[in-house]
Amino acid sequence: MRLLKKRHAAVDMRFTIAERYRPFSHQPGTSSVLPGTNLRFQIFPSLVRVFEEDTVVSEINLAVLGPVKDFTVQLDLEKGRIRVWGTASTGYMRYSIYPASTQEKFVLVQETGEKDKAPECKKVTLERLSLGSSKAQDWDMVKRRFDMTEILPVWFFLGQQIEEKDCAPAEGTAAFLHECRRAIISDDSRRLLEPFKLLFQSGFDGILAPRKTDSDHQGFHLPPVASDFSSIALLSDGAKLIRSLFFSYNDCVVDILPALPVEFHSGRFIDLKCGTQGTLDMEWTKKAIRRVIFRANENGVIRFALSREINQFRLRLSETDRGQKLEPGTPIEIVAGKTYYLDRFEK
């Protein structure tokens, strides 16, 4: 009985990711995109500038008497808002900026310490990526460390909350989007991250605020911007490309870790949407897939594509099921409401 209990407890019904994505900065004038909009906010202690691309569409003057201590701008991706706080000469200040369905597109809510009067928003389960980093999300320090295990999960999470735009042409900083695609197609795991790094360096300022040109003049030789594309595509298209490094789904075939960069030794990806067929969680360590949990939403057949090194895996239909050995690509009949466990991936 003891052995059975240990074995039973070793299986997780779902994977979890403890990280919460709330990058922040203490720099006055920090820029950030408001989730759910195409608006960029540049935030100072006593002024908020609102941009659509490079055009200022609104300015909000705040009744703040400085200097402001501990000034903080936080991009709260868990609640889809920008949050600002600090201590002015007249006392503590705190407010949040939310997307809105009004003509103004956003609402600024002063917080008084009472119950947060946030506008009600429809909650959507987003896919969540973790590459094992647990460092504080002080974005100025993140940019200095320049570690993509910290950057890509936040970029991906924000990109899901941005309205999709048409694919940007290979102009300005968006040229590196196309370099990312080419790197993924080339299947060279040692060079996959390089164009993502160049895109991050040239295409963003503040806390992942996208830009068409490198306003820091770092010396990138970029094609001139000749069309009126939206820089928001750097977030939404970038998120799709990040996803494709770890997972793809097409025509009832799930491809697991199709283009894993060598730098990402371990990680988890949860709530991945497999079309209408279901959702999937997966975990890898030492650059190899270890466990997959698939939850079926409908009856049908699904296949799992794996790396060339893997010859077989175990499929179980319950936590106590001994399971069966299958080869990658084997058609698996699925039933709506059932959960399927994949492990013991062997070469």
The pLDDT value given to residue 203: 96
Q: Is the pLDDT of residue 185 over 50?
A: yes
Per-residue tokens: 326: 């299958």
Give the rounded distance of the alpha carbon of 30 from its chain centre: 20
Q: Is 135 exposed, middle or buried (0-12, 13-18, 19+ CB in 10 A)?
A: exposed
Is this model's pTM higher than 0.95 or not? no
Q: Is the pLDDT of residue 160 over 70?
A: yes
Q: Percent of the chain, pLDDT > 70?
A: 93
Per-residue tokens: 73: 């701008």
What pairing do the DSSP bridges indicate for beta strands 300-305 and 253-256?
A: parallel
Per-residue tokens: 24: 């922040």
CA distance 323 to 318: 8
Closest to 309 measured CA to CA, from 328, 290, 329: 328
The pLDDT value given to residue 114: 56
CA distance 81 to 121: 11
- Using DSSP's 3-state secondary structure scheme, residue 344 falls into strand
Q: Is the pLDDT of residue 303 over 80?
A: yes
CA distance 93 to 91: 7
What SS3 string covers 268-281? Answer: EEEEEEECCCEEEE
The pLDDT value given to residue 115: 57
Per-residue tokens: 46: 């006593």
Average pLDDT, integer, range 114-140 = 81
Q: Is the pLDDT of residue 4 over 70?
A: no
- Using DSSP's 3-state secondary structure scheme, residue 117 falls into coil
Provide the pLDDT confidence category of residue 123 given band limits of 50, 70 and 90.
confident
* Degrees to nearest 5, angle at CA 148 with 153 and 290: 65
The pLDDT value given to residue 119: 66
pLDDT tens, residue by residue, 35-76: 999 999 999 999 999 999 889 999 999 988 889 999 999 999
Q: For residue 210, what are the CA distances in angstroms to 45, 152, 199, 232?
A: 22, 14, 10, 6
What pairing do the DSSP bridges indicate for beta strands 312-316 and 300-305?
A: unpaired
Instruction: Provide the b/e sequence for 84-97 (b: ≥16 CB within 10 Å).
Output: bbbebeeeebebbb
Instruction: Provide the b/e sequence for 202-234 (b: ≥16 CB within 10 Å).
Output: bbbbbbbbbbbbbeeeeebebeebeeebbbbbb
